[in-house]
Structure 1
Amino acid sequence: MQNDTVFDQAEIIAFLADPSTYGGGVANVERIDTHASVVFLAGARAFKLKRAVRYPFLDYSTLELRRHYCEREVAINRRTAPALYEGVVPVVLGQDGRLALGGTGTAVDYLVTMQRFDDAGLFSHLAETGGLDVDLIVQAVDEVIALHSAAEVVQPGEPSGGGAAGLYPTIANNAAELTAYSDLFGADRVADYTAAVEVAFARATDLLDRRAATGFVRHCHGDLHLANICLFEGRPTLFDAIEFSEAFACIDTLYDFAFLLMDLDVRGLGPLANRAFNRYMARNSDGAASIAGVAALPLFMSVRAAIRAIVSALTAAKLDQCAAAAARDTARDYLSAARRYLEPSRPRLMAVGGASGTGKSAVALALAPDIGGSPGALVLRTDEIRKQLAGLRDTETLPPSAYTAEHHAAVYQEMQARAAASLAAGRSCILDAVHGRPAERLQARQVAERYGAAFTGVWLEASEERLFERVTSRQNDPSDAGAEVVRRQLAAGFGAIDWLRVDADQPLDRVVGAIRGAKS
């Protein structure tokens, strides 16, 4: 990609790279380069200079534009990181002809100033070093949910990248940019990808427009990959949201979230991508209506991967030979992922049943990453659905009146409706429920048959001692079932079981291995 550089910032960059610029206590300055900015890490603070460049998607080419977008960046990112973003400071040219940070003189550029955080707390670094775990991902997803819930809804007619008309320019631009890099990616691979993404987009247009019309297009983050999440003051913090384009930031919430899922997946962290996906859907779902949106997820993840392929190619052009070669390899990997996400796969419905305490939820979550296309299967848990229908948080306890036969039937009906929506959207799913009655087990199979999905029924069995041990040791869990509930379940019996029966007294990995072996 060519850019139109209209202001020489070499002197400013040299000034910002000099430790003496920042006064005493700064012995060295670290520099981070991207295609659109240069970040200088000096002491306890970071200073971000926007490059004087113009791209088809970004224009920082004038001093006034850079000032405007510095101020915009601070305002937008204070939604999620108010303590991290300090403000904007000008680089001024004094009467003595010397540059200074702030003070009197003529402003020649502007910087976003931030509190510095430990690079080891970047989620991208944690992913590379094995430090990224389920707890951190769950906390980060909760931050995303909070942002999306509070984000301003884009109204019809307002500039945005939502709906079919809003997303297509990105797809078209990706095609043009990938074609421009045919020497890097290979002309045949680029042509194959662009044809496939056009087909996927055509299938999704009505869905994209429905989501735009029903409030799913909001002012989101816009650049939600792992390098833009850090640990700051002890919690995952989203930063570096896009400020320069409504088309990139005012988008479908699931398209925003797809960037995080794609990044985890490409890094080989599929299980964490699946946990992120299921946390987002469980905590940010209004039932079958929002689940229908996952039909667009393969397209969203593919477009995100294509964007990263282009950005990696752009970045390679600004790096030394060794680093550039690595960036080009990364770009090719992203394009491979972009194409893989568009491969169709037959959805599967798996139902995991058994008495309370058999470990159904742990088994379901362990199996989900490997069922269906990335990021894996949607897990539908009756314990969570029951709390949602009652308007309670997962860990709040329901009164006994919420466990009548009528409420029980309503919960199973809702679970099956969500499963139907998932399968209709092409997404595999797992039903995590006791399924204690033959009719409930039959209904699960019938949902799969209705949508032409493969079906697997798994029945977990464990000793009474193990069941009681597990239900009484639960903490912060959506299930309200205790020892008395287990006793009632066992006394009532479960009828004839024609599902795959698995000994759940075994360690989790052996239970999961037995199911995978039988399923294959």
Structure 2
Amino acid sequence: MCPMEQDQVIAFLADPATHHAVAAVKRLDTHGAHVFLVGNNAYKIKRAVRYPYMDFSTLERREKACRSEIAINRGNAPDIYLAAVPITRDEAGLHLEGSGEIVEWAVHMRRFDEELTFDKLARRGQVNDEIVDQLARTVSDAHKKAGQKSGFAPALREIIVETTEELEHAQEAIFPGRATLLGQHMLQAYDKYHCLLEKREREGKVRRCHGDLHLRNIVLHGGRPMLFDAIEFDEKLASIDILYDLAFLVMDLCQMGLQAQACRLLNHYLWLSDDEAGEIEGLALLPLFLALRAAIRAKVLISQAALDANQNDQQIREYVLAAAGFLSPAAPRLIAVGGLSGTGKTRLAYALAQGIGAAPGALHLRSDIERKKLFNISAAARLQPSAYDPAISKQVYQHLMVLGRTGLAAGRSVILDATFRDDQDRQGAVHLAADANVPFSGMWLQAPPEVRVTRVQARVGDASDATPEVAARQSSSATCPPGWTPLDAGGTPDATREIALDLLRHSLKL
């Protein structure tokens, strides 16, 4: 069935009478599919198109893709994906699941609220911290249960070359010369980190992932993020490094101006990892992964425009420029945020991270999280007092330094978030920066006892085990350690953030 013949099926599915419906059928189009929404149902047919990376040009290929889509997506979205159904023709015309000649195949889905896809939530400013944390867990859980695969390193190079070639066809009219240069820089990054790619594959980091994990393919369903519309047409495109899968989502958030959410998502994903050190090491690949994801988005927009004659040159140009920017990250630096309980260390670290270093922001390493992981319990679970014995605390800080060293070596800026009450721990942070040859800023947060106690009382579900009694017992006479800068954290979080940023602008010349 050619595109012209497929128009008959499109008209059939767009007709309310086909679905015994009174209301109009809502139609959505992408570069690879037509989706028809009516009542509680959704039907998706594959466009009869062929691209270098996707071929739906025959009925057999479209049937296979529809069946694969059901099988692949049921794991993440069992409530949505129902069946692959035929569209048939007889003397009376076209029918859904009829007994005549099969002329097309459709994915039958249970309709969800399309206003709750994450791209629309993001545009309305509704992707808050709680939703970001849930999203990080949803993606992490999907990656943990995904089967291991192989062959990603050579496939990645093919994707870079193919994407560059497709962009080069359009570059003279939209972004003169940039596609060729972008391709060269991506291949240079690939060659530099080829051994790391292969190492991660040996460690089981290449899995059967979603493959197309952008905001439009995630929906808030039943109050929780749900992934849908995973790649079904090419196993090679979905058999990828888990950080490459995550990179599409991170890039998408950054391009929507939501870098704070992108940074939080990445850090929470890392905290949830069973191999945090390994994933932090893998962050050396993130600039390449982000750049390629942005370039692919530009490529898809060009493909869509060729079908719908609705090309947005400015948007395509922005993705190409973003790709180039991801490959030129800011130099790494180390920031340590210390102080007594309730001074607002973690809140400040969150606020600073989004604007520090390579996109989407600094690596946030929190002692409270690492202590909980040491005992293999959730962040919100409470530890026994013995978990805070000096020997355990020493182990936690040593691990924090190891992770920090790994992050700096991967080219990431790092924020260490801990009380740092022990001079040896503070010196460890200073020496870490010196060993890595990166700038260091130590911030010692200070706030009145009554402010600290009130803040600790207000915590809900936080990783810190400090109680109001613990905060009250801590000596308010604790002075700023040598080499660190005192920071008045007794005001609002925004005020504290501005003081800290001003400090960084002067000390780090941000």
CA 1:268 to 1:491, structure 2 compared with 1: closer, same or farther past 3 Å? closer
Match of 2:298 among 289, 309, 329: 309
Aligned-partner residue type, residue 309 of structure 1: A
Matched, 1:39 2:39: no
Conserved 8 A contact 2:287-2:329:
no
Alpha-carbon distance in 2 for matches of 1:491, 1:20: 74
**SS of structure 2 residue aligned to 1:93:** strand
Query: Where does 1:126-205 land on structure 2 (aligned, <5 Å)?
Result: 126-154=121-149, 156=150, 160=151, 162=152, 164-205=153-194
Aligned-partner residue type, residue 374 of structure 1: A
Alpha-carbon distance in 1 for matches of 2:173, 2:232: 30
Aligned-partner residue type, residue 286 of structure 1: D
Alpha-carbon distance in 2 for matches of 1:223, 1:496: 48
Partner of 1:233: 222
Partner of 1:507: 492
Partner of 1:10: 7
Aligned-partner residue type, residue 447 of structure 2: A
Q: Deviations over 1:317-354 (max 9, x none)?
A: 2235xxx24x3321111111111000042101100000
Comparing 104-113 with 412-421, which one deviates more in the overlay?
Answer: 104-113
Partner of 2:394: 409
**Structure 1: any 5+ residue segments left out of the alignment?**
none
Partner of 1:109: 104
Partner of 2:508: none
Match of 1:124 among 110, 119, 124: 119
Conserved 8 A contact 1:7-1:61:
no
Aligned-partner residue type, residue 433 of structure 1: A
**SS of structure 2 residue aligned to 1:125:** helix
Cα distance, 1:233 vs structure 2:
2.3
Cα distance, 1:234 vs structure 2:
2.3
**SS of structure 1 residue aligned to 2:503:** helix
Cα distance, 1:97 vs structure 2:
4.3
Conserved 8 A contact 1:26-1:43:
no
Partner of 2:273: 284
**SS of structure 1 residue aligned to 2:109:** strand
Partner of 1:362: 347
Query: Where does 1:101-500 land on structure 2 (aligned, <5 Å)?
Result: 101-154=96-149, 156=150, 160=151, 162=152, 164-320=153-309, 324-325=310-311, 327-490=312-475, 493=478, 496-500=481-485
Conserved 8 A contact 1:230-1:238:
yes
**SS of structure 2 residue aligned to 1:383:** helix
**SS of structure 1 residue aligned to 2:148:** coil
Conserved 8 A contact 1:76-1:241:
yes
Cα distance, 1:484 vs structure 2:
3.6
Comparing 478-487 with 53-62, which one deviates more in the overlay?
Answer: 478-487
Cα distance, 1:39 vs structure 2:
0.8
Conserved 8 A contact 2:270-2:276:
no
Aligned-partner residue type, residue 18 of structure 2: T
Partner of 1:19: 16
Conserved 8 A contact 2:449-2:476:
no
**SS of structure 2 residue aligned to 1:513:** helix
CA 1:186 to 1:475, structure 2 compared with 1: closer, same or farther past 3 Å? closer
Aligned-partner residue type, residue 161 of structure 2: A
Provide the aligned length of Structure 1 versus Structure 2. Answer: 505
Conserved 8 A contact 2:3-2:47:
no
When normalised by structure 2's length, the TM-score is 0.96
Alpha-carbon distance in 2 for matches of 1:69, 1:333: 31
Aligned-partner residue type, residue 6 of structure 2: Q
Q: Deviations over 1:446-495 (max 9, x none)?
A: 11111111111111001111111122222111111123433454279467
Comparing 183-192 with 363-372, which one deviates more in the overlay?
Answer: 183-192
Alpha-carbon distance in 2 for matches of 1:15, 1:420: 60
Alpha-carbon distance in 1 for matches of 2:340, 2:363: 21
Alpha-carbon distance in 2 for matches of 1:310, 1:496: 53
Aligned-partner residue type, residue 12 of structure 2: F
Alpha-carbon distance in 2 for matches of 1:380, 1:144: 20
Alpha-carbon distance in 1 for matches of 2:232, 2:166: 22
Conserved 8 A contact 1:17-1:30:
yes
When normalised by structure 1's length, the TM-score is 0.94
Alpha-carbon distance in 1 for matches of 2:467, 2:120: 41
Comparing 259-268 with 134-143, which one deviates more in the overlay?
Answer: 134-143
Alpha-carbon distance in 2 for matches of 1:461, 1:477: 20
Alpha-carbon distance in 1 for matches of 2:359, 2:234: 28
Partner of 1:70: 66
Alpha-carbon distance in 2 for matches of 1:366, 1:109: 51
Cα distance, 1:53 vs structure 2:
1.8
Conserved 8 A contact 1:295-1:425:
yes
Cα distance, 1:191 vs structure 2:
2.0
**SS of structure 2 residue aligned to 1:366:** helix
Aligned-partner residue type, residue 120 of structure 1: E
Q: Deviations over 1:397-431 (max 9, x none)?
A: 11122111110000000000000000000001100
Partner of 1:90: 86
Aligned-partner residue type, residue 254 of structure 1: L
Conserved 8 A contact 1:384-1:394:
yes
**SS of structure 1 residue aligned to 2:497:** helix
Alpha-carbon distance in 2 for matches of 1:285, 1:266: 29
Alpha-carbon distance in 1 for matches of 2:381, 2:482: 32
Alpha-carbon distance in 2 for matches of 1:44, 1:51: 23
Conserved 8 A contact 1:22-1:42:
yes
Conserved 8 A contact 1:360-1:460:
yes
**Structure 2: any 5+ residue segments left out of the alignment?**
506-510
User: What's the RMSD between the two structures over aligned residues?
Assistant: 1.7
Alpha-carbon distance in 2 for matches of 1:496, 1:180: 59
